[in-house]
Amino acid sequence: MKFSTGKRVILIILVVLLIDQFTKIWIKTNMQIGDSIEVFSWFHIYFTENNGMAFGLEIISKLFLTMFRIVVVGIIGFYLHKIIKRGLPFGFVASIALIFSGAIGNIIDSVFYGVIFDHSYGNIATLFPEGGGYSSWFHGRVVDMLYFPLIDMDLPSWLPIWGGEHFVFFRPIFNIADSAISIGVFLLLIFYRDLLTADQSEQ
């Protein structure tokens, strides 16, 4: 049975959201902030939270950031609906769907997590705690856990400036939602940049 583009897009969004929220809820209810599980030497599950944008960037207030995200998701959702109806290539549509689902995943944290979880500092969080959450609506922190220290070493002492210092590459800690956004953007830039430019010029 062949699924329509719209149904395949819905499936992408649901799969990303289910995996994203499952991993975040599992982390929140099984680990404390700073806890780490070494899967491989180059891949750790490292529990942290951030108040800002993807990969922990914090540049504007939390409430404004959450509201801004909601507006952006609405715009992306409208655009996604439009390109599905126009019959644009599925790869292009799927890339936009990944960005859309990733943005929704982090919005869920920001809007709800402060209310439905208690804090994770020296404490394994409880879902729907009796005493209430650690914050208010729209002020939740985004859960991050994917850490890839691909290079983790002490630099040789003879190296100028940084000699003897500890060096880690890649430092950012992120989540499934961040990954979906990054993959979607990467696919657009590599395979669909011309189509995206042409589509925008027709607006």
Residue 154 appears among annotated catalytic residues: no
Q: What is the CA radius of gyration of the chain?
A: 19
Nearest Cα to Cα of residue 199 among 101, 72, 81, 86: 86
Alpha-carbon distance of 22 to 11, in angstroms, equals: 16
109 is catalytic: no
Which residues neighbour 126 within 8 Å (Cβ) at sequence distance 6 or greater? 29, 117, 118
Q: Measured between alpha carbons, how far is 37 from 7 in angstroms, rounded to an integer?
A: 36
Active-site residue among 109, 118, 178, 199? 178
> Could you say which of 35, 109, 144, 152 is catalytic?
144
Burial (CB < 10 A; 0-12, 13-18, 19+), residue 123, is: exposed
How far is 199 from 3, CA to CA, in rounded Å? 25
| Collapsed DSSP state (helix, strand, coil) of residue 124 | coil
Q: What are phi and psi of 36, to 5 degrees?
A: -140, 140
Catalytic residues: 144, 178
